[in-house]
A and B are shown apart, each in its own frame.
Chain A
Amino acid sequence: MSAHVSGPASILREPWPSVPRQREGVTFGMWAFLATEVLFFGALILVYAVYRDLYPDAFRAAARATDIVYGTVNTVLLLTSSFVMTLAIDAGAAGARRVAILCLAVTAALGTAFMVVKGFEYYEDIQNGLLPDAGLPLPSPMSRLFFALYWVMTGVHAIHLAIGIGFVLVMIVLLARSTLAAESPALDVAALYWHFVDTVWVLLYALIYLPGRS
């Protein structure tokens, strides 16, 4: 099969009998994977919920020590990246390969901007001693629990986002080489993963940055 042929023939893969069945199958597969991711992040958030319930004042003081400007800027970046990713999928479905590539590039750039902002935030956190050890400059030692979860949850999220950026970059290269058709379900599953990483951040924003401000 020619790699340069666009259309149903280049989209369909073994063992699927038709493109709609293939799209349904890969979408189902990605959602099944995302269901396990929900439980993975859910377990971390459960630990957070239990400790926040046990030590509410320590968690409020610790959350107040985080930098809400970085957190808010990153939320806007990720929400915008999800919006542009949606445009990429629609452009791909309409056969507009170049528009899809452009939108994917903007999505990856916004994801990278998130990582850069997160890097600045981590640097300042370390400068301010916001680490889960005895040097944490907060009155309650239980605030260390918050920062242990802060580093693990945001760190694991950043790893997921880095994988997402890599995923999007691969899609850009495959689309640019016409190895992948713009209508391919592969783009749909990349988008599902991207949006999921976005939803995790929406929740982390509410749990990490917002408490203890009033």
Chain B
Amino acid sequence: MTDASAHRRLPLRQWLGYAVVWLALVAGMAVTLALAYVPLGRAQAAVHLAVAALQIALIWSAFMNLRRSSALVRLTACSAALWLVFMFALTFNDYFSR
């Protein structure tokens, strides 16, 4: 079967949406890079990680399609975050309480 016969319309409107997501990701990087040179003191790490978390949320929901995935797949993705929280919470609980 040739490409032409199997060819349906390319989802250009959806591609535009992905381009907006890409622009948002690059803009997020530019913002976090600019903020790296602003003396924010102890809040600096929190700002960097907050922007990174937003970027990751965008990639997971839009590019990795979690927003259109089934509950099973979404739960599996959330389980990764849950175990990560356990690992960090239990380890820092030890370090902060010594």
Q: Could you list which residues of chain A lie within 8 angstroms of chain B, going by C-beta atoms?
A: 4-7, 24, 27-28, 31-32, 34-35, 38-39, 42-43, 46, 49-50, 52-54, 68, 72, 75-76, 79-80, 82-83, 85-87, 90-91, 93-99, 182, 191-192, 195-196, 198-199, 202-203, 205-207, 210-211, 213-214
Contacts and interface: CB of A to CB of B under 8 A. Distances in A.
B84 A83 contact: no
Contacts of A195: 59-60, 63-64
A82 B83 CA distance: 26
Interface residues on B, range: 35 or more
Contacts of B19: 83
A211 B48 contact: yes
Given A39-B87, A83-B22, A214-B37, A99 B59 contact: no
B interface, over-half SS: helix
Nearest to B74: A31
Contact of A206 (B22, B26, B51, B64): B51
A24 B70 CA distance: 8
A210 B49 CA distance: 10
Interface string B14-51: 11001101100110010011001111100011001101
